[in-house]
Amino acid sequence: MSQSHPFDAAIALQAQAGGSFLGQTSPAYANMIGPYGGITAAQCLQGVLQHPDRLGDPVALTINFAAALADGPFEVRPRAARTNRSTQHWIVEMLQDGQVVATATVFTAVRRATWGGHEARMPQVPTAEDTRRTARHGVEWLNRYDMRFLEGHIPSRWEGQEREDSLTRLWVRDEPPRPLDFASLTALADVFFPRLWLRRARLTAIGTVTMSVYYHADATRLAAVGSRHVLVQAQGQGFGGGYFDHGGQLWDASGTLVATTHQVVYYKE
Amino acid sequence: MSQSHPFDAAIALQAQAGGSFLGQTSPAYANMIGPYGGITAAQCLQGVLQHPDRLGDPVALTINFAAALADGPFEVRPRAARTNRSTQHWIVEMLQDGQVVATATVFTAVRRATWGGHEARMPQVPTAEDTRRTARHGVEWLNRYDMRFLEGHIPSRWEGQEREDSLTRLWVRDEPPRPLDFASLTALADVFFPRLWLRRARLTAIGTVTMSVYYHADATRLAAVGSRHVLVQAQGQGFGGGYFDHGGQLWDASGTLVATTHQVVYYKE
C-alpha cells in the first residue's frame, strides 16, 4: 500500500515503547468538528493490526467516541486482555493530552473454513458503473469517497418533512481508488449521513457515540474486492431521548456480504 | 427488588476497595458450559450501575465473552474512561483467578426529551396471553424464562434440513415474573438460541463472542413494562468462517421498541 494514498497516510502509526502507537489526525478526513469517525475507528483498529502480539484477523470491533478529537497527535493503546488458542480480545484506548478520546474492543480470530451461507442478501440494484456519482459538498472527508446513491439520499430541501423510513443505499469506494482491507472497510462502515436527517429533513446537531463493525470477509475475500465499489445500506431502528441507532450491511459487487454494522448517534433536539 | 428472585441473587455484587466488585456465578442460570451469557452481561452492567461515579443510564453496552466462566466467584472491574457533562464511557473487565473472562464497554448518559419516532416496528402478532408457553428442556437457565414462541422455534427434528432464513419471534419474561429494568433487559437480549441451529437443524457447538445491547427505553419506560412479556425477535445476517451474527429487536406489549441488539457467535463446523 502506497503511503501516498490519503487513507494510508491517515492511519499511519509509529510504534512506541510499551506497545502503544502515535498517530496524527488527518486534514484529509476532517469532519464538521474533529475527524470523520470512520477514520478514528480505522486508526484504533490499525493499532491492533500493527501490534506484534496480534493473533488472527478482525471478526468484530466496537468503538466508542468519547470526545471530539482535536487536530494533532494522538496515542493508541491496544492491550490484549485475553489470548486464547485461536482468538484474542483487545481493549483499545485512544488518548490526546492524557485524556481518553475513544475506547474500543476488537475481537480477532484465526478463521477456519466451515459451513457458510449469508442470510442478509444484497438487494437488486443497478451496478456501480450504471449509477452516476453523487456530488457531495461540505466537509473534507466527503471528498475521500466516491459515493453513488441509489436510495435515501441526503435531503435536498431542509424543510422538515418527516419520513417514516430512513433506508439509504449507495455504492461507495475510496477516492482515489484503493484496495479494500480491514482498516478501509472499517472506515467505510461509518459513511452514512445521520438517519435522523433523512427522517426529519432538519439539520440537527449529531455525533456518533458508538459503532460496531462485524467482518464477514477474510483478508483473501477483501483483497478480491480490490478497489471496486461496495454496496452499503443502513436503516434506523429506535429514535428518542437524544439517541438513535441504525443497522447496516456492506456487500461486494458480486453480492457477497463483507460486513455488517450498527451505530448509536446522539442528537440534540 | 427482592433478593429472593433468582435474577437479583445472580447479579448481586459486593463492592470492594478500589471500585471493583465481587460476584458469584449462579447455578440458576447455568448453561451447557459456564453460565448463560445474558446473566454475565447483566453482571458486567450491574458493576457500572452500582458504581458510585456512574452518571446517567445505559444507552449502549458491548460485552465480549473471552472465556467460559468457571462456577464460583468473579470480579467485575468497571472504570470510567471518560466522563463528560452528561455522558460517560466505561470499560469493564470481568476476571476469575486473575484472568480476564469478559470485557465490556458501557455508554451511559443523562437522556433528555427530544423528537422521537421508532422506526423498527413491532410485527403484528397474537398477544402473549393468547400464545401458549413453549416447553423448553435442557440447560438450567431456560427455566428462568417464560418463553412463548411465535415463529422460528428451535428445530424439533435435528435432521439437517437447511433453511433460507433464521427469523425467530417470541414473547418472553422472567420466570417467576420480575419488573423489567436495565439489567434484566440486558439478560433478555441474549435469550435467542443460535440462529445457526435454525438454518441447519444440526446441533453444532457454538459460543457467543460479542453482544451489544442498545437501550431505547429509559428507566421510567422500563418500569412501566413491569413484569409483562416482551416481544423479541432476531435474524441472522452473515454465516461463514466459523462465525455468524444476528440483529434483534425487543418491544413491550404496547409496541414500543425498548432495545435493539446484535451478537456474533462462534461455531465449530
Distance from CA of B94 to the nearest CA of A (A): 10
DSSP structure class, residue B131:
S
Name the one residue in this structure whose C-alpha cell is 473472562. Answer: B101
Superfamily grouping for domain B6-111+132-267: Acyl-CoA thioesterase, double hotdog domain (2.40.160.210)
Q: How high is the pLDDT of residue B201?
A: 96
Q: How high is the pLDDT of residue B61?
A: 99
On whether the CB atoms of residues A87 and B209 are closer than 8 A, the answer is: yes
DSSP structure class, residue B134:
P
* A67, A105, A249: residue with CB nearest B84: A67
Residue A168's nearest CA partner among A117, A91, A234, A89 is: A234
Q: Does A79 touch chain B (CB under 8 A)?
A: no
Q: How high is the pLDDT of residue A3?
A: 56
Distance from CA of A2 to the nearest CA of B (A): 30
**How many CB contacts within 8 angstroms connect chain A with chain B?**
216
CA A191 to mean position of chain CA atoms: 7
Tens of each residue's pLDDT in chain A, 269 residues: 455 899 999 999 999 999 999 999 999 999 999 999 999 999 999 999 999 999 999 999 999 999 999 999 999 999 999 999 999 999 999 999 999 999 999 999 999 999 999 999 999 999 999 999 999 889 999 999 999 999 999 998 999 999 999 999 999 999 999 999 999 999 999 999 999 999 999 999 999 999 999 999 999 999 999 999 999 999 999 999 999 999 999 999 999 999 999 999 999 99
On whether the CB atoms of residues A169 and A231 are closer than 8 A, the answer is: yes
Distance from CA of A169 to the nearest CA of B (A): 17
Tell me whether residues B199 and A119 touch, CB distance under 8 A: yes
> Which residues is B206 bridged to in the sheet?
B267
Q: How high is the pLDDT of residue A37?
A: 98
For B92, the closest chain A residue by CA position comes to: A91
For B256, the closest chain A residue by CA position comes to: A238
* A119, A165, A269: residue with CB nearest B165: A119
- And the C-alpha cell for B171? 414473547
Residue B203, class by beta-carbon neighbours within 10 Å (0-12 exposed, 13-18 middle, 19+ buried)? exposed
Contacts of A57 (CB under 8 A, 6+ apart): A108, A109, A110, A111, A182, A215, A218, A219
Residue A185's nearest CA partner among A228, A237, A149 is: A228
Helix or strand (DSSP H, E) at B99: strand B99-109
Q: Which B positions 2-21 lie with beta carbon below 8 A of chain A?
A: none
Q: Does B121 touch chain A (CB under 8 A)?
A: no
Q: Tell whether omega for the bond before A176 is within 30 degrees of 0, i.e. cis.
A: yes
Q: Which amino acid is at B160?
A: G
What integer is the mean pLDDT of B197-223?
A: 97
* B210, B262, B269: residue with CB nearest A107: B210
- And the C-alpha cell for B138? 435442557
* B107, B218, B268: residue with CB nearest A209: B107
| Residue A42 main-chain phi, psi, to 5 deg | -65, -35
Where exactly are the structural domains of chain A?
6-110+126-267
Tell me whether residues B111 and A236 touch, CB distance under 8 A: no
Neighbours of A217 (CB within 10 A): 25
Using one digit for the tens of pLDDT, what is the confidence trace for B232-269? 999 999 999 999 999 999 999 999 999 999 999 999 99
Residue B191 has pLDDT above 60, yes or no: yes
Strand bridging mode B99-109 / B145-151: unpaired
Distance from CA of B235 to the nearest CA of A (A): 9
Q: How high is the pLDDT of residue B137?
A: 86
Residue B1 has pLDDT above 80, yes or no: no
Q: How high is the pLDDT of residue B264?
A: 98
Distance from CA of B269 to the nearest CA of A (A): 5
Tell me whether residues B239 and A117 touch, CB distance under 8 A: yes
What distances in angstroms separate CA A123 from CA A130, A169, A240, B161, one per listed residue? 15, 9, 29, 26
Neighbours of A159 (CB within 10 A): 8
Q: What percent of chain B has pLDDT over 70?
A: 99
Architecture of domain A6-110+126-267: Beta Barrel (2.40)
Q: Does B210 touch chain A (CB under 8 A)?
A: yes
Using one digit for the tens of pLDDT, what is the confidence trace for B59-117? 999 999 999 999 999 999 999 999 999 999 999 999 999 999 999 999 999 999 999 99
Q: Which B positions 27-46 lie with beta carbon below 8 A of chain A?
A: none
Tell me whether residues A115 and B200 touch, CB distance under 8 A: yes
Q: Tell me which chain A residues have a C-beta less than 8 angstroms from the C-beta of B195.
A: 119
| Residue A173 main-chain phi, psi, to 5 deg | -150, 165
Q: How high is the pLDDT of residue B56?
A: 98
Tell me whether residues A165 and B119 touch, CB distance under 8 A: yes
- HEC secondary structure over chain A: CCCCCHHHHHHCCEECHHHCEEEECCHHHECCCCECHHHHHHHHHHHHHCCCCCCCEEEEEEEEECCCCCCCEEEEEEEEEEECCCEEEEEEEEEECCEEEEEEEEEEECCCCCCCCCCCCCCCCCCCCCCCCCCCCCCHHHHHEEEEEEECCCCCCCCCCCCCCCCEEEEEEECCCCCCCHHHHHHHCCCCCCHHHHHHCCCCCEEEEEEEEEECCCHHHHHHHCCCCEEEEEEEEEEECCEEEEEEEEEECCCCEEEEEEEEEEECC
Q: Does A269 touch chain B (CB under 8 A)?
A: yes
Distance from CA of B165 to the nearest CA of A (A): 6
- Rounded CA-CA distance B57/A212 in Å is 20
Q: How high is the pLDDT of residue B197?
A: 97
> Which residues is B191 bridged to in the sheet?
none
- Rounded CA-CA distance B192/B262 in Å is 11
- Rounded CA-CA distance A42/B109 in Å is 25
Contacts of A156 (CB under 8 A, 6+ apart): none
What distances in angstroms separate CA B228 from CA B1, B8, B59, one per listed residue? 16, 17, 22
| Residue B130 main-chain phi, psi, to 5 deg | -90, 5
Q: Does A235 touch chain B (CB under 8 A)?
A: yes
Concatenated DSSP letters for B168-233?
EEEEEEESS-----HHHHHHHTT-PPPHHHHHH-S---EEEEEEEEEE-S-HHHHHHHTTS-EEEE
Q: How high is the pLDDT of residue B136?
A: 87
